[in-house]
Chains A and B, each alone.
Chain A
């Protein structure tokens, strides 16, 4: 079951001087950032900019080379178990057992979070219904389309009702209709005061959902603010133009 955040501390995540190096490549370069409770924060950048590496560090998959982070009030280096009870992670590639059906996948991961069986069943039903997967829920996942796998990937990430959700490119490969349904689903989390960290290279997604946006380039956090603030500051019509003005490149060029 997901634990609760301390209501007296309004920070969900504090990142301090975070560095991650892979041999000679600096994937994350001295990133400092604070994300508030209930905020939907988007990390915007091209592929390889360092977005996924930051998420992988924050959820304990990777160890930082330098620096640390406080997630939900817990130090990443000392309290990883407590952090794992607070978070839900939707990885970029759909990590799903293909020989299991949707329901079995969701219930397996729910069991790893110790969600009581009755509650897990009810929650699984609700989530499958919300993302239009009820009909397919008894078919093995190996027969699913890319979009269905992405939806299931998202449901698994959120089954423990996490206080902090890391959504790494959750809508890649979805058709526009499925993407809109997913945005609505993510929006419903936000309305329940969940903290969401979203990585995306879909500009319209970042604009539609985010309270604040951080632009990452070559591992550095180079710009931070609300979409409106960034557009005003850079005299741009949209975030794509903001990105172009700051980096000299279009965000989709890196994909």
Chain B
């Protein structure tokens, strides 16, 4: 494995995040603004929302938008001939996809840190111990695989970066409405249980409440792992067969 190449690709992806204001806003600033807005304005349980739901919801919401950034990034690089150019080097597709996964897992973890830190700043007090709260990192890192996979599927079917932005909402909206901070009724819960983000919010809520030993969390992590790994494999296979041209 070309570790030097892998490291260079991860660095490049992180520079892309930092140097492109739209990416930086979507990935880190927007979740930060949402945390502050929801926390300050709607953070009162009497308004139907409380921080215990908002914080896991905003973290998941931010991670869902990785679908859009991955789809835009791949379709832009394909349009500009960069994927073709990288294909002429000895780098393997495994190394390339590995760099995408590492980068987006890192971004997802950064999102957890930003949202969590801001939430604590405005009064969020989780019951879980500090050690237990760190469990949120692997949970969200696993979920980021699903976002990378859905981003790749979006890039496969999108001819341009603009189309990728629009099509990504096919995957973003259901996850957003049925598995973030939106209130769920008993009826909508049936739909939500078909969507991965619902299980991520549930797992994070349990972790922040200090119920991380609950058997429910095992079920959540099981569902997240199986679905996310399956989606990322499908995404990689589809993109390599039909999208990387």
Which residues of A pack against B, CB within 8 Å? 56, 59-61, 81, 84-85, 87, 89, 91, 93, 95-97, 99-100, 104, 107-109, 111-114, 117, 140, 156, 160
B90 in the interface (beta carbon within 8 A) = yes
CA distance A160 to B88 in the complex (A): 12
A60 vs B15: C-alpha distance when bound (angstroms): 29
Chain A residues closer than 8 Å to B19, beta-carbon distance: 99, 140
Residues in A whose Cβ lies below 8 Å from that of B15: 99-100, 104
Number of interface residues of B (CB under 8 A): 23
Give the distance to chain A from B45, nearest Cβ to Cβ, in Å: 43
Within 8 A of A (CB), among B1-49: 2, 4-5, 7-9, 12, 15-16, 19-20
Given contacts A112-B89, A113-B90, 15 further A-B contacts (CB under 8 A): A56-B84, A59-B88, A61-B84, A81-B90, A81-B92, A89-B85, A91-B84, A91-B85, A95-B82, A96-B82, A99-B19, A99-B20, A108-B12, A117-B4, A156-B85
Contacts of A56 in B (CB 8 A): 84
In this complex, what residue of A is CB-closest to B8?
A111
Question: Is the CB–CB distance between B5 and A111 below 8 Å?
Answer: yes
- Contacting residues of chain B (80-127) with chain A, CB-CB under 8 angstroms: 80-82, 84-92
Q: Is the interface of B mostly helix, strand, loop or mixed?
A: helix
Check if B81 sits within 8 Å of A114, measured CB to CB: no
Q: Of A85, A113, A160, which is in contact with the most chain B CB atoms at under 10 Å from its CB?
A: A113
23 contacts between A and B (CB under 8 A): A60-B88, A61-B84, A81-B90, A84-B89, A91-B81, A93-B80, A95-B80, A95-B82, A95-B85, A97-B82, A99-B15, A99-B20, A100-B12, A100-B15, A104-B15, A108-B8, A111-B4, A111-B8, A112-B2, A113-B89, A113-B90, A114-B4, A156-B85
Chain A residue at minimal CB-CB distance from B87: A61
Tell me which residues across on chain A come within 8 A of B86, comparing CB atoms: 109, 112
- CB within 8 Å for A111 and B7 given contacts A100-B12, A140-B19: yes
- With both chains docked as a complex, state the minimum distance between the C-beta of A166 and any C-beta of chain B, in angstroms: 8
Residues of chain B lying within 8 A (CB to CB) of residue A117: 4
